[in-house]
Amino acid sequence: PPAALTSSCSFLVWVLISTKFKRLIKYIDNIFKMDKYLQILKEKEIAVIEDSHFSRLHLKDIFDRYKIKSVRYFESGTELAESKKIYDIYLVDLVLQDEFGKNIIAELREKSDESLIFAVTSLNNPNLLADVIDSGADDIIIKPIEEKIFIAKLKSFVRKLQ
């Protein structure tokens, strides 16, 4: 074959390999970034306000799988208030015995603008959910909790804070 054709083919092969290599590097960088946000998430203090034993166990299993250890569990907003501690992240069930999570969220937001607050619920009334966000929740986590989406949301909010 003519030298020009060989040279052109070599150049095309180099371009293809270079492009694939760049994509691979970008993919690996994204993995490390996600690990970075998971690492930051592991350093955050998390409070879970949930009166359902089953739901607390489910969340504990998820946190354990991701080696997130700085999590405290409370059965009520009153119990949380008695702790007198400000957490980095709050997960607040909306339907609690003798309490409404929306009120807890509003009180938490008054105490801290910097904390992330997630409402956790199986309710799907758009007016109620909008009202909960207006009261101070940063986002809604829908039950049953889908593990990968849940962790992705937490990491996403951690990323936005950086």
| Per-residue model confidence (pLDDT) at position 153 | 95
More confident residue, 49 or 11: 49
Q: Does residue 29 have a pLDDT over 60?
A: no
Q: State the average pLDDT over residues 25-42.
A: 71
Going from the C-alpha of 91 to that of each of 77, 123, 145, the distances in angstroms are 11, 15, 12
Query: For residue 2, is it left (φ>0), alpha (ψ between -120 and 50) or beta?
Result: beta
* Residues 61, 67: Cα–Cα separation, whole Å: 10
Q: What is the pLDDT of residues 110-139, one digit of tens each?
A: 999 999 999 999 999 999 999 999 999 999
Q: What is the pLDDT of residues 50-108, one digit of tens each?
A: 999 999 999 999 999 999 999 999 999 999 999 999 999 999 999 999 999 999 999 99
Q: Does residue 11 have a pLDDT over 90?
A: no
More confident residue, 37 or 130: 130
Which pLDDT band holds residue 5 (cuts at 50, 70, 90)?
very low
